[in-house]
Amino acid sequence: MVDTTEHGSIERDTIKKVSIVISKGSLEGIYPGLIMANGARAEGIEANLFFTFFGLDAVHRKRIEHIKVATVGNPGMHMASLIGVLPGMSAIATKMMEKKMAELDIPPIHEFIEMIGDTGAGMYACKASVDMFGFAKDDFVDQVEGIITVGEFYESAAGGQIIFT
């Protein structure tokens, strides 16, 4: 929101808190939320990450190292879905993306999660998704503070912006 003072100068409301929902388990589904959370913390903005459905892969101990680019049904790939289903296409696209991100000094997901956790951002797993997939707290990296309900997520997000990636 923009407001003008009596002297004509512009005052802007600043964002003080963001809660980011990560629901996709692909590189292009996880990185936007991590980048936004990292940027928020760098700006002094409180940030919470809520991992739900396949976004849980980003913080799952056994799956975090195996996240790939989605090549099928991804219009951003600019290729026919038929090509995306060919064996090895996801692996090739993932390697290309990881190489480009490394050139830009963007860390791998597990390092990014650690960095963001070290800044004090809150990280939570969705209870409904955890229950649906049969996971437990021990299945997640140490940065996951807890498994919370959607109601508890809304409580922690109160007074801030909610971003769904």
Domain with residue 115: its CATH number is 3.40.1260.10
10 pLDDT tier (thresholds 50, 70, 90): low
Above 90 in pLDDT, residue 91? no
Residue 1 has pLDDT above 60, yes or no: no
Give pTM, 2 decimals: 0.85
* Structural domain span for residue 56: 2-65+110-164
Measured CA angle at 28 (ends 156, 62), to 5 deg: 75
75 lies in a domain? Answer: no
Residue 60 lies in a domain: yes
Residue 82 lies in a domain: no
Using alpha carbons only, give the angle 141, 57, 157 rounded to the nearest 5 degrees. 75
Position 79 scores a pLDDT of: 67
Contacts of 22 (CB under 8 A, 6+ apart): 29, 30, 33, 34, 49, 50, 51, 52, 55, 58, 165
Domain annotation covers residue 136: yes
Per-residue pLDDT of 13-43, as tens digits, reads: 889 999 999 999 999 999 999 999 999 999 9
The reply to whether 158 falls in a domain is yes
Q: Is residue 147 part of a domain?
A: yes
76 in a structural domain = no
User: CB of 49 within 8 A of CB of 91?
Assistant: no
Report pLDDT for 136.
Answer: 97
Cβ–Cβ < 8 Å for 114, 86? no
Mean pLDDT of 88-95: 82
**Total domains present in the chain:** 1
Computed from CA positions of residues 1, 42, 29, 117, in that sequence, does the dihedral angle turn out positive or negative? negative
CA-to-CA distance for 61 and 136, rounded, in angstroms? 11
Q: What percent of the chain has pLDDT over 70?
A: 85
Predicted local confidence at residue 155, as pLDDT: 96
Closest to 18 measured CA to CA, from 45, 43, 39: 45
Q: What is the pLDDT of residue 99?
A: 92
Q: Give residue 33's pLDDT.
A: 97
The reply to whether 55 falls in a domain is yes
